[in-house]
Structure 1
Amino acid sequence: MFIRLDFESDEPIYTQLIHQIIEGIAKKNLSPGDPLPSVRAMAADIGINLHTVNKAYQHLKQEGFILIHRQKGVVIHPDGVAKADAAYMEQVQKKLRPFVAESICRQVSEEVFLKQCQELFNEFNEEGEKK
């Protein structure tokens, strides 16, 4: 699997795991219906506590990225991820707000900020098109 965690990071391990799985979906390394390792298997594979994996999986389930079946195990949501709605766009704005404010404080121009966003967006789209 493609999971790479930074154990020295200030970002919690479960958050890193969530982000890595979402990136895998965005880059089409993971497709609807693809299985993920069980909580125990994932924890053993990457050397972390199973409660950390469980917390990440529960968050991903709540956000509609995965389904957890007792018989089938953990799978990427077979119907794909739900399209953005007004509530999601509100969340995006709320999360971007501190990044924009800090960028302005650090004298990052709007052009540079938007260019960086565009480069990231393109990175995900290009990776996904290769699959």
Structure 2
Amino acid sequence: MATIRITSYGTGHHDDPTAANPVVVDTTALHNPPDDAAVRATLTQLTGRHPDVAAYVLATPGAHQLLDTARRTVVQRITRGQQHIDVHVHCYGGRHRSVVIAELLAADLSVLDDYVHTQHRHINHPILPTRTPAAR
């Protein structure tokens, strides 16, 4: 039986989690509510735990493939006998994209006979200022 620890966080907070050889899931390519004027007013104050935010993020082309790849990577490590697996899911602010993917990954992996723990480091932190394209 493996222990899987999934941590979502925002790289913009500059306190990334540490672990030996984590599975790293970069969600920065996914749609981000604060960057989209069409949904900014309605979705930004919500978090990735809200179904409307999840639907918005998952509407990004490639979002489901990103989730599938992360799941397969974790399952491969379990199959190889790894007993403790850290999964670091990040975006810029840690409130929307990383939370959506971390929550869905935890739900997918919970069907296994393994222990899955999820932590959202920055879900309740203030929204960070939107980065300019040059800063990305």
| TM-score under structure 2 length normalisation | 0.31
Question: Higher strand fraction: Structure 1 or Structure 2?
Answer: 2
**TM-score computed with the length of structure 1 as normaliser:** 0.32
